[in-house]
Amino acid sequence: MNRPIALLSDFGLKDHYVGSIKSVILKINPKAIIFDITHEVRPQNIREAAFLLYSVSPVLPKGTIVVAVVDPGVGSMRQALCIKTNKGFFIGPNNGIFSMVLNNEDHFEARVLANDRYFHQPVSMTFHGRDVFSPAAAWLSKGDIFKSLGPQTRKVHHLRLPQATYTQDRITGEIIYIDRFGNAMSNISKPTLVKFAKLHGTHITVKEKHKVSLKPFFSAGAPGSLIAVWNSNDLL
């Protein structure tokens, strides 16, 4: 057994934080398979981290252990969790970072990381990514220790995320993420809009005044024009 470990954080790559996390993992499991989702989440932006986890989760290898560290409450009373789903495991703070991923899960089991046998000692009050989350992931990558990590809990925090709203003839959504190319992603999904369009037809406007055309891909629009496309997760 050697489950892959995927890392997401707001640490960036300038400092030593990511290297420290990977070092702890490799000390525990020298054969660990580690890959990065991103370390460029805007500092302390839990909602952005939740969206990025949601975006990547459909393509993660089955059994992947995701370590997500966007943790403004580190050192406080907030709990550290390991969550088991049908697809894999999610380790991180109980602050809502896994909200969007868990919304797509019919069943999951959460445990509080409380067994200090699986911690890196001494535990820093400001760096649980290194001392709590990553060692738990490393031990889990080597064996079935999930139930040994700590007690089960049903108190998993969920963010109040914006939802698209519906009236008789309109769907209204909002931008929930802008990527490095400037693509503004909304919370309107393709299945929802396609179903709506069959009944009412469709035209797309931005801020109630800019009408945009729906195109199949980026270069189908005229240079400099504002267009709508479906992204790779079928969001408008």
Map tokens 């470990």 to a residue. 5
Q: Are 21 and 7 in contact (CB under 8 A)?
A: yes
On whether both 102 and 210 belong to a single domain, the answer is no
Q: What is the pLDDT along the chain (236 residues), one digit of tens a residue?
A: 899 999 999 999 999 999 999 999 999 999 999 999 999 999 999 999 999 999 999 999 999 999 999 999 999 999 999 999 999 999 999 999 999 999 888 899 999 999 999 999 999 999 999 999 999 999 999 999 999 999 999 999 999 888 887 777 778 888 999 999 999 998 888 887 777 665 555 667 776 667 777 888 888 888 888 888 898 989 98
Task: Identify the CATH number of the domain in which residue 59 sits.
Answer: 3.40.50.10790
Residue 72 domain-assigned (yes or no):
yes
Note the pLDDT of residue 171: 82
Note the pLDDT of residue 191: 81
On whether both 121 and 40 belong to a single domain, the answer is yes
Residue 159 domain-assigned (yes or no):
no
Note the pLDDT of residue 225: 81
Instruction: Give the residue numbers spanning the domain of 207.
Output: 165-228
In a 10 Å sphere around its CB, with 0-12 CB exposed, 13-18 middle and 19+ buried, how is residue 92 labelled? buried
Last residue of a domain, one of 127, 153, 179: 153
On whether both 117 and 173 belong to a single domain, the answer is no
Residue 129 is classified by DSSP as: I
Residue 236 domain-assigned (yes or no):
no
Note the pLDDT of residue 15: 98
Note the pLDDT of residue 104: 82
On whether both 48 and 79 belong to a single domain, the answer is yes
Q: pTM of the entire structure?
A: 0.91
Last residue of a domain, one of 153, 183, 199: 153
On whether both 142 and 202 belong to a single domain, the answer is no
Q: Tokens for 101?
A: 């991923």
Note the pLDDT of residue 201: 56
On whether both 124 and 197 belong to a single domain, the answer is no
SS (H, E, C) 213-235: EECCCHHHCCCCCCEECCCCCCE
